[in-house]
Chains A and B, each alone.
Chain A
């Protein structure tokens, strides 16, 4: 990786800083999590402004509403650094811009790209992902939600689970079974489903955090045009795996780890036990430094992986470890924060003396959800060992056709 900035990058950074200074009042409050699925007009206006200047949707082609620049590692780094430094929203996050748009760019028809990419990156269309089902989690190819041909449409029956943002979404990109005779993997298609279609019901799914970050989605004779298939019928598994690749890289971002660590250090400066700062407690301090080393390792690992993807090189086993290592690290950072707070670390629900609005406890629990979701740690280890290290697969039990 070439980390030496040149004059054109310095100029870019200066312009960006000036832009952020001039315009920070126009940026919406709140972090990335608040933005997912939000219709806040201020956020959408901010996103449009960012795209205009090439600070969001930078590499999405111009013809679809993006800025149309070439991928550039140093520009990405500068964008991350400067927005973080300014404490300003970097624009829209969410499954639409982060997962669907790259998938459409890779597999979608021209008509689909024209119809969906622009509105998605501008936040006008909100997406949710319809993959997991109660019977298809780690074994995702076991999807049972059926889409049966009827004239020019599909009629959908079934159920999805763990659908983030479904209650706010206009559209779902979903994995459904369209080819009954084609076998487990070959029978799936990638379908774009309007969420307001009659027959679709969304129910919140409460988690241990006390919130309902996810949903269940029930389909009862919901009718969707066949032209909403992305790629070809029966190619859904291949296409879904493209999306999953983007999800895994988005789930454990380095910037979030660095920000969490910085908040942890601040916490450990403030909290005391028996009159001594948590930062000065040798055991807690040592744990903090261990975590810092890991955060640094993930930071430089991220740069190396980004370099590889920009050069269209395969990083081998190294490219498969980000989700596993990053999510575990996020969980451990929250774990130390709670220990540093001691009893005060288990206050929740707006208690007196609660720190940071109970955010650390929320992150501790939610990060466990992330260790499990998007591919469990155990599945990640299987993939790393088999695909990354070439270790022999387990002998399979007899295949059962759906």
Chain B
């Protein structure tokens, strides 16, 4: 997707292009984690991580994280047969999207949190994902229970929250006596959904880092000051070398975290937390440093670099900021 198109979508209400999403569905991306029996690719999180990285590289506005990764993981793990049949084939076809409200699994801002009373949901969830296009939301109450709530449900209010990152839409969900159409419980579904989301975000952050670094190196080779390319000055070289030295080991960490989700479930929660926290830390340093390598032009709206600066900014905070994740990692190890 050319950046010009991404910028156009960023300015729209939903930030979504159904034609692009259907094309990604035809490529097998939208449904890559959907089991083959439901018309999907039957692939693993490691494959989805590669896709997430590529989508981030393009700063593509898509509902991949919430719909293709998190919702599919939850439904495939513990959804009832009827729920799987209703949603999974349409997700794979690119004709339906699911949003995910799971922020409060990681931490709660003042006043946020959703509770169940007598089968009905009440409360608030902030930063629900894919809010621009979701036909329904998966609302996580705690580590074991996720509720499925259609967008038009009585008692549900969805308010878009503009953030710095216009390539992704998040919303505040307000629930007042909402009856879920289904519950997704057991099999650690909420935990798996959260871990998958964190790994996909880590891969997204990796894609942003790669793009920012490539732009910085390219720019440093072109931009001339003092009669020579700025990349020939040691100070600029060292900034770029420092970015690479952070990025390459982090790449391996993301891949292993995805692999752990697929093959070593005991290690998955710890690796997911660490991968996402670490990519958030190096991510903010890398997009900042890349901006500095660009000098003044990196600060302009006209130059595209700030799209990734902001995508990293949002990615850093979603599903647990780095300090929250580090504390979770400590607790997971009994420290």
A residues sitting closer than 8 Å to B (CB atoms) are: 3-4, 265, 279, 285-286, 288-290, 292-294, 296-298, 300-301, 303-304, 317-318, 320-321, 324-325, 378, 380-382, 384-386, 388-395
Contacts and interface: CB of A to CB of B under 8 A. Distances in A.
Contacts of A289: 274, 277, 326-327, 329-330
B240 A300 contact: no
A381 B242 contact: yes
Interface stretch (B33-41, B92-100, B171-179, B249-257): B249-257
B253 A382 contact: no
B295 interface: no
B244 A391 contact: no
6 contacts: A265-B335, A286-B327, A293-B329, A294-B249, A321-B249, A384-B241
B238 A290 contact: no
B253 A325 contact: no
The 6 closest A-B pairs by CB, nearest first: A385-B237, A300-B252, A289-B326, A381-B241, A297-B249, A301-B249
Interface string B246-283: 10111111011001000100000001001101100100
A72 B85 CA distance: 45
Chain A interface secondary structure, helix, strand, loop or mixed? helix
Contacts of A294: 249, 278
Contact of A303 (B248, B250, B252): B252
Interface in B206-256: 217, 220-221, 228-229, 231-234, 236-238, 240-242, 244-246, 248-253, 255-256
A286 B241 contact: no
Given A285-B330, A297-B250, A325 B240 contact: no
A293 B274 contact: yes
A105 to B, nearest CB: 28
B249 A325 contact: yes
B278 A3 contact: no
A334 to B, nearest CB: 19
Contact of B237 (A285, A391, A395): A391
A380 B255 CA distance: 25
Interface in B98-157: none
A179 B7 CA distance: 62
B86 interface: no
Contacts of B236: 391
B237 A382 contact: yes
Nearest to B274: A293
Given A290-B281, A381-B238, A381-B241, A300 B249 contact: yes
Contact of B252 (A290, A297, A382, A389): A297
What class of interface size applies to chain B in its complex with A? 35 or more
Contacts, number: 122
Given A285-B326, A298-B249, A382-B238, 6 more contacts: A289-B327, A317-B248, A321-B249, A385-B237, A392-B228, A395-B228
B249 A285 contact: no
Given A286-B323, A304-B252, A393-B232, A321 B240 contact: no
Given A296-B271, A301-B249, A303-B252, A389 B241 contact: yes
B241 A394 contact: no
A301 B282 CA distance: 15
A274 B140 CA distance: 40
A285 B325 CA distance: 12
Contacts of B278: 290, 293-294, 296-297
A382 B335 contact: no
Contact of A385 (B228, B238, B281, B330): B238
A277 to B, nearest CB: 9
Residue in A318, A389, A395 whose Cβ sees the most chain B Cβ within 10 Å: A389
A169 B259 CA distance: 45
Given A297-B253, A392-B231, A292 B274 contact: yes
Interface in B45-88: none
Contacts of B251: 301, 304, 318
A391 B217 contact: yes
B329 A389 contact: no
A386 B249 CA distance: 19
Contacts of B263: 3-4
Contacts of A265: 335
A389 B253 contact: no
A389 B236 CA distance: 12
B238 A388 contact: no
Nearest to A298: B249
B51 to A, nearest CB: 20
A381 B239 CA distance: 9
A318 B278 CA distance: 18
B248 A301 contact: yes
A4 B237 CA distance: 39
Contacts of A380: 241
B244 A394 contact: no
A370 B160 CA distance: 52
